[in-house]
Structure formats: C-alpha cells, structure tokens
Amino acid sequence: MSPRPFALLGLSLLLAACSNHPEPSPPSPSAAPAAAHEALPADQRELRGSLLGAPADSEVELAVLLVDARGTPREELGSTRLQGNGQALPFSLRFHPQPFAAGTRIELRGRASQSGRLILRLPPRTLSVVDSQALGALQLVPAP
C-alpha cells in the first residue's frame, strides 16, 4: 500500500484539529482592585486621598513627618512623589508609625514644583490619630 492515503488522512486530521476554536478561558479576576486594597504589613500605616490643584507636568512630594513644638521637622516617617496631571491626583502614602515624645506631633506636608521652582504647597495637616485613614480631597495652595 502506498503512503499517499496515509499522508492525506494525516493532513486532513491535522487541518481538522487546527480548525476547532479553542475553548475560551474563564475571565481572570481583575488584579487592580486587589492591588488597591492590598493588605499592609503590621508595622505600616497608609494615608489615602487626592490632591486638588496640581498642574500638569508638576512634581508633587508628600511626606509624613515627626515635628517638634516649634514646627521643625525632626524625622521623616514616609514619603512619596507623584506627577501632576492637571486633575485630581490620587495618592496612597505608606509610613511607619512611631511613638512620639511629648511636645512633638505627626504632620502630613506636601509641595508641588515645576521646573525646579516651588509653586504650590499643602498646608500642614496634623494627624491626631496615627493610623491608616482616608483624608479625602486636599487642596494645594500657592507657595509664598
């Protein structure tokens, strides 16, 4: 018997196998919501909110600081940098809480610069509770 009928049979089986549509894979759960509310390590806290007034192409810096009674920063507990886009700028700032001595407080401070020049600042916001919290919308004001 010649190999030609076997070759035709093999080719037809191969074409039949290729013409079947693969079964659609089940939709994978979205990773974005899981990342947005990712569990924090026990030694960290998080501040969430949005900044209003950050112009496009500006660089925004936020920091959680330990501040003394005179308003002088003593230690940085956490910081983040963001790029302004001309719209409300969401932020999530993780920090390491620490017990602080009498006469000191924890503050959130921020500033926005454009081309290396300070243009806006966030008025200092004292954190009465050193825990994870949502701060809502915070307005940047012109820098002096």
The pLDDT tens digits for 74-123 are 999 999 999 999 999 999 999 988 777 788 899 999 999 999 999 999 99
Contact in structure between 78 and 91 (CB atoms under 8 Å): no
Asked, for residue 138, whether it belongs to a domain, the answer is: yes
Asked, for residue 27, whether it belongs to a domain, the answer is: no
Q: Between β-strands 117-126 and 105-114, what pairing exists: parallel, antiparallel or unpaired?
A: antiparallel
pLDDT digits (tens, 9 = 90+) for 23-41: 555 554 444 444 445 677 7
Tokens coding 84: 């302004």
Number of folded domains that form the chain? 1
Boundaries of domain holding 81 = 44-142
What CA–CA distance (Å, rounded) separates 63 from 42?
A: 20
Side-chain half-sphere exposure of 71, counting CA atoms within 13 A: 4
Asked, for residue 129, whether it belongs to a domain, the answer is: yes
Cross-strand pairs, 120: 112, 142
Asked, for residue 90, whether it belongs to a domain, the answer is: yes
Q: What's the confidence (pLDDT) of residue 96? A: 87
Q: Is residue 42 scored above 80 in pLDDT? A: no
| pTM, 2 dp | 0.69
Asked, for residue 79, whether it belongs to a domain, the answer is: yes
Asked, for residue 14, whether it belongs to a domain, the answer is: no
Q: What's the confidence (pLDDT) of residue 37? A: 56
CATH code of the domain containing 64: 2.60.40.3330
